[in-house]
A and B are shown apart, each in its own frame.
Chain A
């Protein structure tokens, strides 16, 4: 069965609003989770590393004030896209490190109108 879940699976929002995406490790604790973004017909780009109990580490070029990451528990990391714009429309995928293996969530399709 699935080890990592994401919610929602798809979301449509208006430009200027904020959207929260949840990533949960099911029945396992994950001190480290990763957030990726994938544009149509492109590969996955690492956005940030989410560490439980500490600040996230962002990759170069990713705005930390726009993509807020909170990893408040060992089973949940959230990504909030603030003041979303149409160019933020993408497929957002999280992954969790569980017992030294990386498991990916099913992804969240964000469409900003």
Chain B
């Protein structure tokens, strides 16, 4: 069974602080995606990383894919209350099937 473990499971920080979320897999995926989900809604794609060692930036969010393509990280700089949500990594199979990580619930306090 392929598993993606995320850490931490829950993070509560003050506005303006930085944070990093980790996603570790026991398997190699063709690519890895990061999603953000609000309560009562479907997940929304933030980024897809494909190449080992790849780094992508999306405003204050920086995504990194490990060299071995088994782990990834999401770093948020100067977190805002609007960043609050559930962050999910997902390993992508060639058949478009997604295996979601365990999730990291982020709360940014004003």
Residues of chain A at the chain B interface (Cβ within 8 Å): 4, 32, 34, 36, 41-46, 49, 91, 93, 95, 97, 100-102, 104-107, 109
Interface residue? B40 (CB, 8 A): yes
Contact among B88, B95, B96, B105 for A44, CB-based, below 8 A: B88
Contact B96 A104 (CB under 8 A): no
Contact B99 A109 (CB under 8 A): no
Tally inter-chain residue pairs, CB-CB below 8 A: 46
Interface residue? B78 (CB, 8 A): no
Contact B40 A109 (CB under 8 A): yes
Contact A41 B105 (CB under 8 A): yes
Interface residues of B in 79-110 (CB under 8 A from A): 88, 95-103, 105
Residues of chain B at the chain A interface (Cβ within 8 Å): 40-45, 88, 95-103, 105
**Across the A-B interface, the 3 shortest Cβ-Cβ residue pairs:** A104-B42, A43-B103, A44-B100
Judged by DSSP, the binding face of A is strand
What 13 new A-B contacts, CB under 8 Å, besides A93-B43, A107-B40?
A4-B42, A32-B96, A41-B105, A43-B100, A43-B101, A43-B102, A43-B103, A46-B97, A97-B96, A102-B45, A105-B42, A107-B41, A109-B40
Contact A46 B99 (CB under 8 A): yes
Chain A min CB distance to B75 (Å): 21
Kindly state the separation between the CA atoms of A108 and B53 in the bound complex, as whole angstroms: 37
- Determine the chain B residues whose CB is within 8 A of the CB of A106 once the complex forms: 41-42
